[in-house]
Amino acid sequence: MDTYSTLGEPEPREAIQAFVAPFREDFPAATRAFVGRLFGPDGDPGLLEWVAADMAAAPPEVALDAMEHAVGNGARILPLLERLTVPLVAINPVSRSADAESLGRYGVTVVAMPGVGHFLMLEDPATFNRLLGEVVAGFTGAGS
- Residue 69's pLDDT is 81
The answer to whether residues 112 and 134 touch, using CB atoms and an 8 Å cutoff, is no
Please report the domains of the chain, with CATH numbers, ordered by start residue.
Answer: 13-140 (3.40.50.1820)
User: What is the mean predicted confidence (pLDDT) over 61-74?
Assistant: 84
The pTM of the full predicted model, rounded to 2 decimals, is 0.80
**pLDDT for residue 3 is more than 80:** no
Q: For residue range 71-101, list pLDDT tens digits in order.
A: 777 777 888 888 888 888 999 888 766 688 8
Distance of CA 19 to the CA centre of its chain: 16
pLDDT of res. 130: 96
DSSP 30-56: HHHHHHHHHS-TT--HHHHHHHHHHHH
Q: What is the pLDDT of residue 72?
A: 74
Over residues 134-144, mean pLDDT: 79
Q: In this predicted model, what pLDDT tens digit does every residue of 4-62 receive, in sequence order? A: 777 877 788 898 899 999 999 999 999 999 998 888 778 899 999 999 999 999 999 99
Name which residue leads in pLDDT, 141 or 29: 29
Query: Would you give the DSSP letter of residue 10?
Result: P
Task: Burial-class residue 100 by CB neighbours within 10 Å (0-12, 13-18, 19+).
Answer: middle
The predicted structure's pLDDT at residue 46: 95
CB 102 within 8 A of CB 109: no
Under a CB-based contact definition with an 8 Å cutoff, are residues 40 and 123 in contact? yes
